[in-house]
Structure formats: C-alpha cells, structure tokens
Structure 1
Amino acid sequence: MATSTTRRPSWRTVTPVLAVAAFGLVACSNSQESSDVAGTTPPVWTSSPAPAGHEGGHGSTPGGREGDDHGASADGLKVELKDGSGADVGTATIVSGGNHLVVTVEAQGLTPGFHGLHFHQNGTCEGDFASAGGHLQVGPADAHPSSGDLTSLQVIEDGTAKLVTWTDKVTLEQIAGKALIVHSGADNFGNIPPRYTHEGGTGPDAATLSTGDAGSRVACGVVG
C-alpha cells in the first residue's frame, strides 16, 4: 500500500489561526469598548461639553430657562394688554437680566407703524387709560426721557408686533403694580432740535417732554 503524503494540521498551527479569527470577529462587533490604548478603538465623543460653570443639554440658555433671551432670570412679571373695548391685544413679560430688565412684548390687532411704549405711574387701566397717569419717573422729575420710557413698538402690516428690549432705568420692584401703555403714535423722546420753535422758546415744549407726542393710549395692562 502506498504511503499517504497528506497530513492533518497540527493543533500547534490551528490554535493561532483560530485565535486570530476570533480576535477579528470581536474587533468587528458593534459592542466594542472604547479605549485610549494606542492601536485600539478610540473613545467615542457624543456631544460638546457644557461651558465652564454651566450644566444642561443643547438649547439651554446660561442663567435662565431654555429659550430665554439674554440670560434672563426665570422669575419675572407679566402684563395682559387690552384695548379700550377690553379685547386682548397682546402680552408682555419683564424679567431680570442681571443689572437690567428684559422686556418682551407680543401684540396683535394694532395699527401698522410705530407706537410709543411706556410704564406709567398708576396701576389702573380704566376708560381711555388716563387713569394710569403720566410716564413713570424714578429719580429727578425733570430727567428726559422718563425712566418708564421704552423702545417704540413697531407693528407690521398684518397688525402684529414683537419687541425684545432692555432697560436699566427701573427695577422689577419699581414697575410691579404699575401700568404698561401702548400709544397710538410714535414717541419722539423729546428729540426736537433747537432750530424748531414753539410759543415761548425753541426745541421741545413741556408737553413733548412729558409725553413724547406719542398720541392717545390704545392699549393698557397692569404689571403683575
């Protein structure tokens, strides 16, 4: 009988091959563990780190609730604005932004154009809103613009408006219980150059300085 030249593989050669194959299967699995060791799978980075001193996920605003503007505090005041017939025409929120207030106004159903926007002395909104008194003044009575004066509200053609503005002339405590008024016209903030004359002098007269010539009061709400 002829001697066979075929030999079965020795366990000494098979074992290393199987070990290499097994390592390959493990390396390709989806349950691999991250490692910092050179030549292995690097750590998986899943998101950006939070800024120093802040915690939370994406969309959070430093110093405030998610979505708040300018780092404003979550604690604040709200105003429900109504027109002379008692219909809702908007809302305002006032929150602390550190050394200033952040005032956000959203309105609808108003005449397109610029409208004076002020905190007034009294927290009442009766009749034509004259009960709210004049512009809120904190400090010297002859200071202009008044401390209750805010950026004018611009209403677009569909009658809606949104304004986010800042003021450091008043505090939450000073405006709580006061009225927020929207006027029919734009506020000139007494910006009347001396070349314009009026009876008894030049530049803005007393009425302009106290009202900004912003016209009648079309919406009012008590800050609370």
Structure 2
Amino acid sequence: MFSKTLVSSFLLLASLSQIQANFFPHHEPTPPIKAIVYLRGPEANSTVTGSVVFEQASGPNEPVKITGTIKGLTPSALRGFHVHQSGNLTDGCTSTGAHYNPKNQTHGAPNDTVRHVGDLGNVQTDANGVATLNFTDKVIQLTGPYSILGRGVVVHAGTDDLGKGNTNVSLSTGNAGTRAACGVIGLA
C-alpha cells in the first residue's frame, strides 16, 4: 500500500511539474536586453551615487554598451570599475565577493585576451568627481551561462593597475583599493 501511494505521489508531482513547465516556462531574456545598476557607497555618510545601464542589442557574444553617471568620486582621477561575483549586499560592498571570474583567469585590462569577465578597467572622473560612462565591452554578457544579471558592480576608491603591477594583488584585483560604491545589476 505504501509503495503504491509513493508511486502515485511521484506520478502526481511529475505531472504537476510538467504542467508548471508548460504554463510557466523559464525564459532567458531575448535581445535587445537592457539592465541597470544603481550605485551607492557602503557607508551611511557616503556621497558616491550613480546609475549604469548595460545594453546588448543583439544575440549572445555581441558587445554590451555601458552608459551612465557616477557622482561623488575623487576629482580628476581614474577609479576601478568591475562586475563582482555576487549581488549580495548584506555586508555592504564587501559581500559582493571577488571580480566575476568564471573562467579562472588573472586580472587584466578590458582589451586583454586574459582577464576576468568582470574586468571593466577604470572610469575617469572630471574636476567635480563625476564619471560619465560610454563604452562597450566584448566579454560581459546579459544572457547565457556567463550573464552578469544579478551580480554586483563595484566602483573602487583607487586606480586599477590593469594587472600590470607584477604582484599577486595586481593579478587578482588590480590594486584598485577599497570599494567606494556598489549595486546589483537587474533587468531594466
């Protein structure tokens, strides 16, 4: 009797699972795809804020356009800008983890062949500490197994040396310093 009930329960669950798959299928977003991240400093008194938009106009492996504005940074400076492993902000920007690196590469510049997926280099600030972003990246993706959706973005307080510092820290973080602001990438 128990065995018959167990088999019946299993068949019922399998049927419900198939019904759910038919009525509520999981879909990857289809291009064009737009995502956004709202950035803010991890401390209550931080003045760093911003928003960045990621747009992928056509299919997978196509470049992603990155536009946005970040305010409150050090004037006339280069500041590290990366996609990080996690969208977890429970411990401020620290809980976003390391740079997004699913291919287990060393840190590099955006145009390097060997780099983390999340290595987006530096953003340049103006005399007022405002960085205006408008560039494309050929490595990050908004769909597929290496999608950056749901991951963290971090703006660092220092300049990214692009992995050229000849130290282990340079090869893992670019010596970009502390985390000035962060946020989670979501569909726009």
- TM-score, scaled relative to structure 1: 0.58
- Larger-Rg structure: 1
Name structure 1 gaps, 5 residues minimum: 1-72, 193-203
Q: Matched residues in 2 for 1:123 and 1:211: separation? A: 18
Quote the offset at 1:151 in angstroms: 3.2
Deviations 1:40-84 (A, max 9, x none): xxxxxxxxxxxxxxxxxxxxxxxxxxxxxxxxx653100000112
Residue 107 of structure 1 corresponds to 70
Q: Secondary structure at the residue paired with 1:172?
A: coil
Aligned pair partner of 2:150 in 156, 162, 177: 177
8 Å CA contact retained: 1:128, 1:217: no
- TM-score, scaled relative to structure 2: 0.69
8 Å CA contact retained: 1:114, 1:154: yes
8 Å CA contact retained: 1:138, 1:170: no
Aligned pair partner of 2:42 in 84, 93, 99: 84
Residue 162 of structure 2 corresponds to 189
Say whether 1:165 aligns with 2:135.
Answer: yes
Structure that is richer in strand per residue: 2
**Equivalent runs, 1:195-210 vs 2, <5 Å:** 204-210=166-172
Say whether 1:223 aligns with 2:185.
Answer: yes
8 Å CA contact retained: 1:145, 1:189: no
Quote the offset at 1:155 in angstroms: 1.1
Quote the offset at 1:117 in angstroms: 0.2
Name structure 2 gaps, 5 residues minimum: 1-30, 108-113
Q: Matched residues in 2 for 1:127 and 1:191: separation? A: 30
Residue 93 of structure 2 corresponds to 129
- Label 1:74 to 1:171 Cα distance change in 2 as closer, same or farther (>3 A): closer
- Label 1:141 to 1:161 Cα distance change in 2 as closer, same or farther (>3 A): closer
8 Å CA contact retained: 1:150, 1:165: no
Cα RMSD after superposing both structures = 1.9
Q: Matched residues in 2 for 1:171 and 1:135: separation? A: 15
Q: Secondary structure at the residue paired with 2:121?
A: coil
Q: Matched residues in 2 for 1:181 and 1:220: separation? A: 4
